[in-house]
């Protein structure tokens, strides 16, 4: 700034001297000096205003990414967790899977974030929240608005960084949309003896990310995590345990629960009128671990795994309670089904050089651990599609074109359990494995 001022003064004096050149007998007066000083002060004020504006703009960070893709399924109109169901009479499609634009105003101790998603289906809100960090230890942060549910690993792992095109079936069913409306407290020390520890926990509506509350229940979601670096061994291990404790409101008088006392496993129904409007528990217990290791010559690798178990209220055809549309069509179809579930996945990623990655992922979703394949569709049983177990083996290759662009080729091999040969109705097609594998070819641009 001093150098800049000196240049300005010299320039003004030079111009002034040129103006005085016609009168060689004239000398600079106090008025002349005052005029020059006034001009310099004016320039300083302008520079300070510009600096203030630039400092404010530096707090605004704009980022985004676009995922354009082509997909091909084994048959028309398959129900798919590889980017949504295929339309009728269609097994091939082009789509914009995600088109994100994110604005982040970061004022050090406070932050405001707005992220929207723009696809061929329209515009939707993904994130919209504000956070405040305490200034003393800089360890505690309060956040309110719409943001990722603080559970497990896969939710918070950005879709732009994730190696597989989509999250597992387990996560898409238990946490559709990933986000939720609520508030949370985060503990993450930047230094000190507890810097390896982190905690996130809060209260949420328990519906969907931008949906209005529909009852007086609030759900708790939280994760306690650790991060253990072993730098000398080129190794890092992260992990955590998670809890979801909430309730859902029954929209009908029908409640189905598992009955193991009869000769044939089945559901028993309670149709007491007072069941309408009653709350039923929803509880998830999760554990996750991530291992990162730098293999000599080949490159870095990571191994990730998660396991979740608990109780999930759903309906006959859906093992997720979110967005239950069956109730508007048929009260019996919208009845509440209470199931015990488990789900898990293991994911291996191997870097090959600086530009290539190999991805292998296997996940299992069992929405009803109390019934096996032979029970489904057996004579006298009343199980539904929502009780079917699935496993998915996915593998693919990623090529990083440059720092902005990457290409992904990925294949999902989906297997449903084969139900009892006596199965009829909606379960009949599942006497065999459905042809619902999906190939995805994606280009992503990120900035």
Could you tell me how far CA 29 lies from the centroid of its own chain?
Answer: 70
Second-level CATH architecture of 61-446: Beta Barrel (2.40)
Distance of CA 301 to the CA centre of its chain: 22
The CA distance from 290 to 299, in Å, is 17
Length of the chain: 447
Closest by Cα among 446, 430, 409, 433 to 71: 409
Q: What is the pLDDT of residue 225?
A: 98
Give me the pLDDT at residue 36, please: 65
For 77-119, the DSSP string reads: T---SSSSPPPTT-SEEEEEEEEEEEEEEE-SSEEEEEEEEEE
User: Cα dist. 145→107, 199, 217, 218, 244 in Å?
Assistant: 18, 18, 17, 15, 18
pLDDT for 20 equals 44
d(CA 402, CA 397): 16
Q: What is the pLDDT of residue 27?
A: 58
Structure tokens at 187: 């503990």
Tell me the β-bridge partners of 125: 116
Distance CA 205, CA 338 (A): 20
Cα distances (Å, whole numbers) of residue 294 to 76, 186, 303: 43, 30, 12
Residue 172: half-sphere exposure toward Cβ, Cα within 13 Å? 16
**Torsion sign across C-alpha atoms 421, 424, 427, 432:** positive
Q: At what angle do helices 30-58 and 2-20 cross, to 10 degrees?
A: 140
The H or E element containing residue 45 is helix 30-58
Q: Smallest Cα–Cα separation from 403: which of 441, 443, 445?
A: 445
pLDDT in the model for residue 26: 55
Euclidean distance between the first and final Cα of the chain, in Å?
A: 33
Please provide the DSSP assignment of 178-214 as one string.
Answer: SEEEEEEEEE--SSSTTTTEEEEEEEE-SS-TTPPP-
Handedness of CA 309, 312, 316, 317 (dihedral sign): negative
Q: Give pLDDT, residue 207.
A: 84
| 428: its two tokens | 């009949």
- CA–CA separation, 279 and 216 (whole Å): 10
Return the closest-CA partner of residue 151 out of 282, 227, 240, 281.
240
Q: Are strands 299-314 and 438-446 parallel, antiparallel or unpaired?
A: unpaired
In the block, tokens 């280009």 appear at: 443
List the beta bridge partners of residue 407: 399, 443
pLDDT tens sequence across 224-254? 999 999 988 899 999 999 999 999 888 889 9
Q: Residue 106's closest CA among 130, 126, 125?
A: 130
What global pTM score does this model have?
0.87
Pairing of strands 390-400, 405-416: antiparallel
SS3 397: strand
Q: H-helix or E-strand containing 69?
A: strand 60-73
Q: What is the pLDDT of residue 332?
A: 56
Pairing status of strand 197-204 against strand 219-230 = antiparallel
Per-residue pLDDT of the chain (447 residues; tens, 9 = 90+): 444 455 444 454 454 454 444 444 555 576 666 666 666 666 777 777 777 777 778 899 999 999 999 999 999 999 999 999 999 999 999 999 999 999 999 999 999 999 999 999 999 999 999 999 999 999 999 999 999 999 999 999 999 999 999 999 999 999 999 999 999 999 999 999 999 999 999 999 988 777 778 788 899 999 999 999 998 889 999 999 999 999 988 888 999 998 887 678 888 899 999 998 898 999 999 999 999 999 888 889 999 999 999 999 988 888 887 644 544 444 556 788 999 999 999 999 999 999 999 999 999 999 999 999 998 988 888 888 999 999 999 999 999 999 999 999 999 999 999 999 888 888 999 999 999 999 999 999 999
The 10 Å CB-count burial string (b at 16+, else e) for 385-408 is: bbbbbbbbebbbebebeeeeebeb
- pLDDT for residue 35: 67
Q: List, by residue range, all CATH 2.40.160.10 domains of the chain.
A: 61-446
């Amino acid at each position: 700034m001093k150098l800049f001022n000196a240049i300005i003064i010299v320039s003004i004096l030079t111009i002034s001297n040129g103006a005085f050149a016609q009168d060689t007998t004239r000398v600079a007066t106090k008025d002349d000096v005052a005029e020059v000083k006034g001009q310099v002060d004016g320039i300083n004020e302008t520079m300070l205003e510009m600096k203030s504006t630039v400092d404010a703009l530096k707090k605004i960070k704009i980022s985004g990414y676009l995922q354009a893709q082509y997909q091909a399924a084994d048959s028309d109109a398959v129900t798919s967790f590889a980017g949504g169901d295929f339309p009728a009479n269609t097994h091939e499609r082009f789509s914009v899977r995600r088109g994100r634009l994110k604005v982040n105003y970061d004022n050090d101790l406070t932050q405001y974030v707005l992220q929207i998603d723009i696809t061929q289906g329209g515009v939707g809100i993904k994130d919209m929240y504000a956070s405040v960090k305490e200034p003393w230890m800089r360890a505690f942060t309060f956040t309110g608005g719409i943001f990722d549910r603080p559970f497990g690993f896969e939710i918070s792992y950005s879709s732009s960084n994730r190696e597989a095109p989509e999250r597992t079936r387990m996560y898409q069913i238990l946490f559709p949309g990933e986000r939720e409306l609520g508030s949370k407290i985060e503990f993450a020390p930047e230094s000190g003896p507890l810097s390896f520890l982190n905690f996130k926990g809060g209260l949420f509506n328990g519906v969907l990310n931008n949906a209005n509350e529909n009852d007086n229940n609030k759900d708790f979601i939280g994760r306690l995590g650790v991060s253990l670096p072993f730098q000398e061994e080129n190794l890092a291990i992260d992990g955590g345990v998670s809890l979801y404790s909430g309730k859902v409101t029954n929209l009908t008088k029908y409640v189905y629960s598992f009955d193991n006392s009869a000769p044939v496993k089945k559901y028993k129904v309670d149709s007491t009128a007072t069941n309408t409007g009653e709350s039923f528990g929803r509880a998830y217990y999760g554990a996750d671990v991530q291992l990162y290791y730098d293999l000599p010559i080949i490159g870095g690798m990571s191994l990730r795994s998660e396991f979740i178990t608990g109780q999930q209220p759903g309906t006959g055809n859906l093992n997720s309670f979110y967005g239950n549309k069956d109730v508007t069509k048929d009260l019996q179809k919208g009845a509440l089904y209470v199931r015990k579930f488990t789900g898990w996945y293991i994911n291996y990623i191997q870097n090959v050089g600086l530009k290539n990655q190999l991805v292998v992922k296997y996940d299992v979703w069992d929405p009803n651990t109390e019934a096996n394949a032979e029970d489904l569709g057996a004579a006298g049983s009343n199980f539904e599609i929502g009780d079917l177990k699935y496993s998915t083996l996915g593998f693919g290759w990623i090529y990083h074109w440059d720092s902005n662009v990457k290409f992904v080729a990925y294949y999902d091999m989906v297997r449903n359990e084969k139900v009892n040969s006596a199965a009829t109705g909606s379960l009949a097609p599942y006497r065999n494995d459905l042809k619902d594998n999906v190939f995805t070819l994606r280009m992503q641009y990120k900035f």
